[in-house]
């Protein structure tokens, strides 16, 4: 097995990569297991000015997503601006920061350090780098004689054949790993998925998405259990009094925490909470030349959100978009925190939760690229219909305003064709006839959508009149 990485010159570097079932991953480096397939569709995941190729599957394996990112970088000539294999040691304000907004950045490459000066900083380290492993919550784990590790170290089911396994967690990673390992775990013991986070009131938690989990539960390959009360040398005792004996492996899919040690205390993190305007800007920074990108939890794809955040941030850096006053930004931060506490159960998982389209529209409005549907209906009814009734794909944020892209209209009007293309893997004599039905199939939901929109509008008006 080889880990292939892009070089700045467009070439490749091949490093040795262990093929073990789980690995000790370098600190502060994100990690995924080899079978990961994204659970957001390609049309909702792509960057707004570069559609994913139509022959790519709608839900891509991680290798396909990596191929797309490489294609994007090459298409826009980005590789020449990127320094790979470079570690950022510190980011600090320059002595004249109040006037220039510039930063001293200390980096290390090939065991050599240097200091560089930058006009703006985008912090894109994400929130899946520091594994959260709450061993203090599991009495007896210190004397457990089997193996245990965080899900971040899991790579593949190799090496787990016939093992008795417990997966602690109920998030997407926990479910994926449980399903995958259930195919190789010891049959008569089954695989156990532990609810580390309990079930609360409806819609008060971010959902876990898995097509395969229901079948594995009803077939008995995955058993859902309550939390672990205690571990012994070989067994797990659950809170309902049941016991699983002779456990070989415990995988803790208990989430992540995050920090910014290279910022020297500039951004404080407490219980996975940060005080950032729109989850991006420090309200009291003298010059708005630092922004955090992708520090959000969302039911949807983070790529288009990170992109639109970056578009807005760079305009703020250049002085083309203005931030509100410190007072207004602090009030917005406080209001957003209250709204989160009201809607979601207070857990580390929900401190960064945002609604996908609501947040995209919010940033798009600040950037000046949210489509004007009324104007669109008057000037281009066909496009307006697809924007209003079709999927909320990122191309709509390239129709107008800064960064307008001439190909956005076509990308929107052909998005359904790209969805269908990978499903048509053979040519039949019926293709010509069935294709003529496509416009009717497209319009079938319109009547229902109009009725639904009308009812929603009536309820909205009625609510505010009341």
Burial class (CB in 10 A: 0-12, 13-18, 19+), 144: middle
Collect all residues with Cβ–Cβ distance below 8 Å to 74 and sequence separation of at least 6: 10
Residues of the chain where predicted confidence (pLDDT) is lower than 70: 1-30, 187-199, 201-209, 344-350, 430-466
Query: What is the predicted pLDDT for the residue at 272?
Result: 81
Q: Which CATH class is domain 133-254?
A: alpha beta
C-alpha distances out from residue 57 to 33, 39, 372, 463, Å: 19, 12, 31, 42
Cα angle 48, 54, 60; round to 5 = 80
Q: Which two tokens stand for residue 244?
A: 């699983």
Residue with tokens 């016991």: 243
Query: What is the predicted pLDDT for the residue at 440?
Result: 45
Nearest to 294 by CA among 48, 129, 116: 129
Q: What is the dihedral of CA 60, 82, 316, 40, to 10 degrees?
A: 10
CA dist., res. 265 & res. 434, Å (int): 61
- Give the count of beta carbons closer than 10 Å to the beta carbon of residue 30: 12
- Per residue in 200-259, pLDDT (tens digit) is 755 555 566 677 888 888 888 888 888 899 999 999 999 999 999 999 999 999 888 888
pTM, two decimals, is 0.82
Domain range list for the chain: 133-254
- The strand pairing partners of 193, in sequence order, are 167, 224
Which 3 state secondary structure label does DSSP give 226? coil
């Amino acid at each position: 097995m080889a880990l292939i990485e892009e070089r700045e010159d467009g070439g490749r570097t091949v490093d040795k990569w262990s093929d073990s079932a789980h690995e000790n991953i370098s600190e502060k480096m994100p990690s995924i297991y080899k079978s990961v397939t994204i659970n957001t569709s390609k049309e909702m995941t792509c960057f707004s000015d570069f559609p994913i190729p139509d022959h790519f599957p709608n839900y891509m394996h991680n290798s396909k997503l990596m191929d797309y990112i490489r294609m994007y970088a090459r298409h826009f000539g980005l590789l020449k601006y990127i320094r790979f294999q470079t570690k950022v040691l510190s980011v600090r304000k320059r002595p004249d920061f109040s006037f220039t907004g510039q930063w001293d950045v200390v980096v290390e490459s090939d065991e050599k350090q240097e200091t560089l000066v930058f006009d703006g900083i985008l912090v894109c380290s994400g929130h899946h780098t520091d594994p959260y492993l709450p061993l203090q919550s599991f009495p007896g784990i210190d004397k457990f004689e089997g193996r245990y590790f965080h899900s971040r170290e899991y790579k593949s089911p190799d090496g787990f054949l016939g093992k008795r396994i417990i997966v602690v967690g109920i998030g997407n990673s926990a479910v994926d790993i449980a399903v995958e390992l259930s195919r190789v775990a010891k049959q008569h013991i089954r695989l156990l998925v532990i609810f580390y986070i309990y079930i609360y009131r409806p819609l008060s938690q971010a959902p876990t998405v898995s097509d395969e989990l229901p079948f594995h539960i009803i077939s008995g390959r995955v058993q859902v259990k309550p939390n672990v009360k205690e571990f012994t040398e070989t067994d797990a005792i659950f809170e309902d009094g049941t016991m699983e004996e002779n456990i070989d492996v415990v995988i803790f899919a208990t989430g992540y925490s995050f920090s910014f040690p290279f910022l020297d205390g500039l951004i404080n993190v407490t219980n996975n909470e940060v005080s950032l305007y729109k989850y991006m800007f420090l309200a009291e920074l003298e010059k708005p030349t630092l922004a955090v990108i992708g520090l959000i939890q969302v039911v949807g794809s983070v790529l288009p959100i990170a992109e639109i955040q970056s578009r807005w941030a760079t305009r703020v850096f250049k002085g083309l978009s203005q931030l509100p006053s410190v007072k207004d930004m602090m009030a917005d931060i406080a209001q957003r925190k209250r709204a989160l506490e009201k809607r979601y159960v207070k857990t580390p998982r929900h401190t960064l939760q945002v609604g996908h389209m609501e947040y995209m529209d919010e940033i798009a409005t600040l950037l000046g690229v949210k489509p004007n549907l009324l104007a669109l209906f008057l000037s281009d009814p066909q496009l307006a219909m697809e924007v209003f009734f079709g999927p909320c794909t990122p191309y709509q944020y390239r129709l107008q305003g800064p960064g307008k892209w001439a190909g956005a209209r076509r990308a929107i009007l052909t998005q359904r064709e790209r969805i269908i293309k990978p499903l048509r893997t053979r040519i039949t004599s019926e293709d010509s006839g069935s294709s003529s039905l496509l416009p009717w199939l497209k319009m079938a939901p319109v009547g229902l959508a109009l009725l639904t929109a009308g009812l929603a509008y009536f309820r909205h008006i009625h609510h505010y009149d009341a």
